[in-house]
Amino acid sequence: TGTGHRKSGMSALDRRVTVSGRENLADWRDLREFRQVDFEASYVLGWKLNGETLAVDLDLRLEPGHVFYEPPRPAEKVCIRPAVMEFPDCDSVALKDEGPSTDTGALVAALGVGLIDGLVVFDDGVYELSGKFGTVVIHSGRLVLRLTGA
């Protein structure tokens, strides 16, 4: 279907079982915001905490079926667009292996950048975003994905 299933031939149910063993979770491929996006070929550029909203700046790879897809320019091989992934009403941010931080602002400022490996969404408002920067656990309201420029 062109939704980024290139790395795993698994169904959504299989991913739910193998990702963490927890019930009631979704993989990023199951979210409408990520239709026609190759999230695992996208890149985190930076992290910001604006009040109670965590903003993750991205270079987002769009697939040909995406409404904002444009054919790559001659020097490009794929369609990359700037985007931001926002986590409103963010209660906490932590590195998975380190647990909660007492200074969320300092933790967010210290988070790294890099290629994204995946995003797992739990029904209880917990998101696990993983990549070259590690696995970041976010407790938040429903995420919002927006393209931010041309």
Per-position pLDDT tens, the chain of length 150: 333 333 344 334 343 333 444 444 777 878 888 888 999 899 999 999 999 999 999 999 999 988 889 998 888 899 999 999 999 999 889 998 887 777 888 899 999 999 999 999 887 789 999 999 999 999 998 899 999 975
Terminal-residue alpha carbon distance, the chain: 25
pTM: 0.80
Bridge partner list, 37:
62
Asked if 26 contacts 12 with a C-beta cutoff of 8 angstroms, the reply is yes
